[in-house]
Amino acid sequence: MVTRPVLQQQSLGEAIKSLGGKAIHFPLIDIVQLTRAEDIKYLENKIRAIDDYQVLIFVSANAARFSKEWFTNCGVKIPEIITVIAIGPATARTVSELFGCTVIHSDVGVTSEDLLSLRELEEIAGKHIGVLRGKGGRELLSAELRERGAVVDYFEVYRRKIHDYEPKELIDVVNRKQVNVFTITSGEALVRLSELAVDNKATLSLIPLVVPSARLADQAEKLGYKIVRNSNGADDVSMLAALQDIASDDTRHN
């Protein structure tokens, strides 16, 4: 079961199919445009004042894609003098392709903690940093950057919306499609999966669950999932490798 938002499902689904698996698409979170006039005005003002910033941090590929649309609409380009950072290699590639700039990322992981270990974010007192993301989300990154003396602003370029399902829809799909692995790429999606599990939690918790980080693995275990595999990345290659490991385990056990 691929639970990514609709726009991010295709590539992983095709990769799964190319290796003989079946991808069941069941988006748990929808990524949608901003609609509130005050949010749009605030964002556009930040983009037009881009020269005030020394560092920009993109926290996801979604943030990169939506940011590109907003920057284009505002007629603004990222100045070459700005240091551009992304949460991981996949997001870095997306930012680089869309904005045509050099992008720095951590080589050790794809979490906020890994990002904070970058040399470029050590001596940042007095620097203005823009964090490009969706509305809401973890505060660890910005809190630590401010603790180090930076001035941090959010460029919230999209919003998330819970996909509307009834709990019985999840268990019906799992049973009908014979789902035997879940893939989850965000904490919000993991919480949503648990909300939909309700009376079927005991059964669903025994299905292997692939997550992209140690933080999410810990969260999943605390929510009661028994077989959790950390892929160490939300990109297709990392997720696919974890899925292949699970398939290999099943083959050996059989």
Residues 158-184: tens digit of each pLDDT:
999 999 999 999 999 999 999 999 999
- Cα(230)–Cα(239) distance, integer angstroms: 9
The count of residues in the chain is 254
Predicted structure pTM score: 0.84
Helix (H) or strand (E) holding 157: strand 151-162
The DSSP string of 181-216 is: -EE--SHHHHHHHHHHHGGGHHHHTTS-EEESSHHH
Q: Which of 165, 159, 102 has its CA nearest to residue 133?
A: 159
Displacement of CA 52 from its chain's centroid (Å): 27
What b/e string do you get for 160-170 counting C-beta neighbours within 10 Å, with b at 16 or more?
beebeeeeeeb
For 111-157, what is each residue's pLDDT tens digit?
Answer: 888 899 999 999 999 999 999 999 987 788 999 999 999 999 999 99
Sign of torsion over alpha carbons 181, 185, 190, 196 = negative
Phi and psi, residue 54, nearest 5°:
-105, -25
pLDDT recorded at residue 254: 52
Write out the two tokens for 167: 């709990």
Residue type, 107: D
- Helix 61-74 / helix 89-99 crossing angle, nearest 10 deg: 20
Tokens 């990514």, residue located? 4
Is the pLDDT assigned to residue 5 strictly greater than 60? yes
Confidence tier at 250 by pLDDT (50, 70, 90): low
> What proportion of the chain, given as a percentage, has pLDDT over 90?
81
